[in-house]
């Protein structure tokens, strides 16, 4: 994590935190147990606040806690559990002992039954949790006495402990409701450092410090999250003092360069931008086209010109500095090779310089979500590079409601990436069993070599075997790309310099209320 005064290198992102208050931020009129308040503008809001449907699944949800939590260095440590789990020699049984004296915000005690209920409900096929496959290794969860929870796995799953940052919900509240439609989705009760006080859909969410939090009542007593979709508006409100913090694209972050009252907090990430290339697409279904696009793209130029240096070229889903990255797959733009690939596959130059084969033009649509300037810039740069190889990419903006039903055949400027273990992000991105499962495997990628590598990486605890599997996977993606990976984006946060004990973690694609310098908001202290 780098802390510095504002500079021009900043990357855009949609953070899930922050807000518009009725009073000026930092006015000292915070509610709750602590002094002060924080107001941060965000581009989007969650669909739900229930962990049963996926909210806070990677930890730091603020309303809830998991059995374990990650620190600034991403190391796992105890949260609702009093210590790291006891693991049997075969790697199939994990036993957690719960911390004593923890209570939900309604005053009821945390029990092993709450943990069992949370995991059982998520694993129930009737629960609409898009991330259920992440818990595939679990065979059984049971309570053992008054303070222990025992997980039995189907197979040794090396990164299982990291999955237990998942928030725990109270059975006595959520147990009597339909997890898909119940009031718990908007009226959560948890053990976390903050309580939801109000939610005006499309406008703001407001939280207050939990005075009974087991980790000690936070000093920041009030947190508000304003839904501000437009980058320019967020920058304007930050400058006016209406917001304490925001994430801004590089050109807007640069306008705060001389503002000595603010700092930036940079976070390296696993967050990539990539173009999905559906195998069911009339043009993108041709492997030669996908290979040519991979060779035609200028990744470094995108980092330099779109991200202003706040990122790295993406040669696959894992960043180059990740220990699991397959060394040697780095590649630069090679337009000559892109043209040779297309020539060999029978794609010949045609009208307007666009290639054609068997009467079909090498032309397809690339969708990106409306209002996302960084994705728009990536899409336009991609189309420009593709044109040099004779492929026409027609860029269109649309809402996700419009994009989702078209993902089977149309390309999408997508974003994803998970920190912690390669299984966390790669399985849902690439495994053929998840093709077409909502936003999992958006490209509907299907490659038996990759499937085998994913299954091997998930089902063994031997590090050398896992390393070989993920290495093979990344090399196969070069041979048979289902996505054109473009960049890994750094997240840069602009925040009023009024607190101490701030830091950032290595972040995933989803970097909302749980990430940024407010990942540990409960530990902040006002500056003297």
Q: What is the pLDDT of residues 504-526, one digit of tens each?
A: 999 999 766 678 888 999 999 99
* Weakest-pLDDT range from 226-240, 290-304, 342-356: 226-240
Local structure of 526: helix, strand or coil: strand
What sections of 150-280 are H helices per DSSP?
160-163, 171-174, 231-240, 250-253
pLDDT band with cut points at 50, 70 and 90 for residue 88: very high
Task: Report the 10 Å Cβ neighbour count for 366.
Answer: 22
- Quick one: tokens of 209? 């410090």
- Residue entry with tokens 């279904």: 285
Helix and strand numbers (H, E) in the chain are 13, 25
pLDDT over 80 (residue 15): no
pLDDT band with cut points at 50, 70 and 90 for residue 23: very low
* Residue 276, beta-bridge partner list: 483
Do 171 and 114 contact (CB within 8 A), yes or no? yes
* Residue 117, beta-bridge partner list: none
Do 76 and 84 contact (CB within 8 A), yes or no? yes
Burial (CB count <10 Å: 0-12, 13-18, 19+), residue 383 = middle
* Weakest-pLDDT range from 36-45, 360-369, 418-427: 36-45
Q: What is the pLDDT of residues 234-268, one digit of tens each?
A: 889 999 999 999 887 777 877 888 999 998 888 89
Going by their DSSP bridges, the two strands 148-153 and 491-496 should be labelled as unpaired
DSSP string, 125-147: TTS--TTGGGGTTEEEEEEETTT
CATH number of 272-489: 3.10.105.10
Local structure of 57: helix, strand or coil: coil
Going by their DSSP bridges, the two strands 411-416 and 363-369 should be labelled as parallel
- Of the two residues 9 and 86, the one the predictor is more confident about is 86
Dist CA 140 CA 257 (whole Å): 54
Using alpha carbons, select from 98, 53, 69 the residue that is nearest to residue 161.
Answer: 69
Q: Which CATH number fits domain 63-183: 3.90.1010.10, 3.90.76.10, 3.30.360.10, 3.40.50.720?
A: 3.90.76.10
Task: Give residue 219's pLDDT.
Answer: 93
Task: Specify which of 11-25, 37-51, 383-397 reaches the highest per-range mean pLDDT.
Answer: 383-397
Domain 2-45+201-266+492-526, classified CATH 3.40.190.10, yes or no? yes
**Dihedral angle of Cα 237, 243, 247, 251, to the nearest 10 degrees:** 30
Task: Report the 10 Å Cβ neighbour count for 216.
Answer: 14
Do the domains spanning 63-183 and 272-489 agree at the CATH topology level?
A: no
Burial (CB count <10 Å: 0-12, 13-18, 19+), residue 258 = exposed
pLDDT band with cut points at 50, 70 and 90 for residue 384: very high
Cβ neighbours of residue 437 closer than 8 Å, sequence gap 6 or more: 130
What is the sign of the dihedral through the CA atoms of 15, 20, 25 and 29? Answer: negative
What sections of 256-399 are H helices per DSSP?
287-296, 299-305, 335-344, 373-389
Residue 285's φ and ψ, nearest 5 degrees, are: -70, -15
Task: Give residue 249's pLDDT.
Answer: 73
Any idea where the domains of the chain sit in the sequence?
2-45+201-266+492-526, 63-183, 272-489
Q: Strand runs (DSSP E) across 203-345, as ranges? A: 204-209, 222-227, 245-247, 262-267, 272-276, 311-313
pLDDT over 90 (residue 6): no
Task: Give residue 30's pLDDT.
Answer: 32
pLDDT band with cut points at 50, 70 and 90 for residue 39: very high
Local structure of 359: helix, strand or coil: coil
Dist CA 234 CA 281 (whole Å): 38
Q: With 0.75 as the threshold, say if the pTM is over it.
A: yes
Mean pLDDT for the stretch of residues 75-95: 97
- Calculate the alpha carbon distances from 149 to 50, 65, 85, 215, 402 in Å: 21, 15, 10, 21, 43
Task: Give residue 512's pLDDT.
Answer: 63
pLDDT over 70 (residue 32): no
């Amino acid at each position: 994590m780098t802390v510095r005064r504002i500079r021009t290198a900043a990357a855009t992102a949609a953070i899930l935190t922050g807000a518009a208050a009725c009073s000026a931020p930092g006015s000292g009129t915070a509610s709750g147990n602590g002094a002060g308040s924080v107001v941060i503008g965000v581009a989007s809001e969650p669909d739900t606040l229930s962990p049963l449907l996926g909210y806070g699944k990677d930890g730091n949800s603020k309303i809830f806690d998991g059995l374990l939590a990650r620190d600034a260095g991403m190391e796992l440590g105890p949260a609702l559990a009093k210590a790291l789990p006891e693991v049997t020699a075969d790697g199939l049984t994990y036993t957690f002992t719960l911390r004593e004296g923890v209570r939900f915000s309604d005053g009821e005690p945390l029990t092993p039954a709450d943990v069992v209920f949370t995991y059982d409900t998520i694993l129930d096929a009737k629960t609409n949790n898009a991330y259920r496959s992440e818990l595939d290794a679990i065979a059984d969860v049971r309570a053992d006495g008054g303070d222990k929870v025992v997980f039995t796995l189907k197979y040794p799953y090396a990164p299982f402990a990291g999955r237990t940052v998942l928030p725990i919900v109270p059975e006595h509240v959520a147990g009597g409701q339909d997890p898909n439609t119940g009031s718990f989705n908007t009226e959560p009760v948890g053990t976390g450092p903050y309580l939801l006080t109000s939610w005006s859909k499309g406008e703001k969410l407001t939280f207050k410090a939990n005075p009974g939090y087991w980790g000690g009542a936070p000093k920041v007593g009030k947190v508000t999250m304003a839904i501000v979709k437009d980058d320019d508006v967020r920058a304007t409100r930050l400058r006016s003092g209406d917001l304490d913090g925001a994430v801004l694209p590089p050109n807007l972050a640069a306008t705060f360069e001389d503002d000595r009252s603010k700092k930036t907090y940079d976070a390296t990430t696993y967050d990539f931008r990539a173009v999905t290339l559906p195998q069911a697409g009339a043009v993108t279904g041709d492997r030669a086209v996908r290979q040519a696009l991979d060779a035609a793209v200028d990744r470094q130029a995108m980092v330099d010109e779109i991200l202003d240096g706040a990122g790295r070229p993406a040669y696959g889903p894992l960043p180059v500095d990740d220990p699991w990255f397959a060394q040697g797959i780095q590649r630069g733009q090679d337009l000559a090779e892109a043209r040779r690939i297309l020539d060999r596959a029978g794609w010949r130059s045609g009208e307007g310089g666009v290639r054609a084969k068997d009467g079909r033009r090498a032309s397809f649509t690339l969708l990106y979500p409306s209002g996302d300037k960084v994705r728009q810039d990536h899409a336009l740069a991609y189309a420009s590079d593709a044109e040099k190889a004779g492929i026409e990419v027609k860029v269109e903006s649309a809402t996700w409601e419009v994009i989702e039903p078209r993902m089977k055949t149309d390309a999408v400027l997508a974003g994803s990436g998970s920190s912690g273990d390669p299984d966390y992000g790669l399985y849902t991105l690439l495994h053929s069993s998840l093709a077409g499962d909502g936003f999992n495997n958006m490209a509907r990628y299907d490659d038996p070599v990759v499937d085998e590598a994913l299954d091997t990486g998930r089902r063994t605890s031997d590090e050398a075997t896992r390393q070989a599997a993920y290495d093979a996977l990344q090399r196969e993606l070069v041979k048979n790309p289902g996505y054109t990976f473009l960049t890994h984006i750094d997240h840069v946060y602009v925040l009023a310099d009024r607190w101490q004990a701030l830091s950032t973690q290595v972040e995933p694609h989803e970097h909302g209320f749980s990430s940024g310098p407010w990942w540990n908001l409960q530990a902040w202290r006002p500056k003297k």
